[in-house]
Amino acid sequence: MPESVPVRCPACRREHVYTAPVYPCACGAPTAPRLDPTAEPVVAAHRAWDDEWIAVPCAACGRRGQWPHPELGCSCGTVLRIPVARTPPPGGGMPSTDSGMPSTTDDMPPTAAGTPSTDSGTPSADGGMQSTDNGMPSADAGVPSPVSQPDGSPGRPAFQPRAIRTARDAVTVAALYLRWLGYRDIRRADQRPPNGIGLAAHGLLAQVDPTVRPAAPRDVECLWLTAMTESADCVYFTLAGYTDDARTRADSLGIPLFVLDLTGVPQPVNDHADTLNAEGAPEPGPRPRDRRG
């Protein structure tokens, strides 16, 4: 059962109750971070890639997965970083650092290629993603460039999956898949979504939800509204699937929905996703858009 703690926003003094998110361990057991009810929340004024993640040990197998740091968005617009209790690694050893990241590379999970992650926490080019100057993994590494079919029509090679063991792996796979579809300049979105991690590309806003809670109608509506304000298309990736109402709402709004399986292959779950998977990213330039909700 995930923990819940009372949270007071230091900016507007509003009271909230925050419930820790639950994530899927590679062994299949649900995993949630331990919250620290004695510490005060911190306003997330600046973003750094490493600060977005914490090491959470699985109570079932002891594996330390990397998951998004718990955060709460207050209605006044302030984003609060929820304090997490320190948890020593199984069998003793060094505890997590203040940022929640492992203090040694021994705590880091192996990459899909079976080699330890680099000190920055992002796999090297041989294992998948490379780190860019702004901290966002580059989606160019490890993905073949588009090719042409024998008849001259544009085509793409088969997508090369990356096994998903952590939330960061889910973000990596989504970024690689968007690059494979033909989107360029993939980066972290400026505005953090209510759940998961936001990615942005030219003309596109994507949301990657690595929790074990199926996406609800409000989740897809929030993504659509944010994309509409930026005159962009949008796409949703999740590990846990979607409720029936969320799928119905996404169909009416024209949002492609994908489920990320643990082998690292995005699976289309509606017609819009099937079309995007088959046709790839649209050509640059103005496109007629139906903004009716």
Q: Where are the domains of the chain?
A: 4-87, 130-279
pTM score, two decimals? Answer: 0.56
CATH topology classification for 130-279: Trna Endonuclease; Chain: A, domain 1 (3.40.1350)
Query: Which stretches of the chain drop beneath a pLDDT of 70?
Result: 1-2, 46-51, 87-155, 284-293
pLDDT, the chain, mean: 75
pLDDT of residue 3: 75
> What pLDDT score was predicted for residue 48?
64
Report the distance separating Cα 68 and Cα 240, nearest Å: 16
3-state SS, residue 64:
strand
Please work out, in degrees rounded to the nearest 5, the angle formed at the alpha carbon of residue 200 by the alpha carbons of 174 and 84: 70
Q: What is the pLDDT of residue 253?
A: 95
For Cα atoms 60, 210, 251, give the angle at the middle one, nearest 5 degrees: 140
Structure tokens at 104: 């040694």
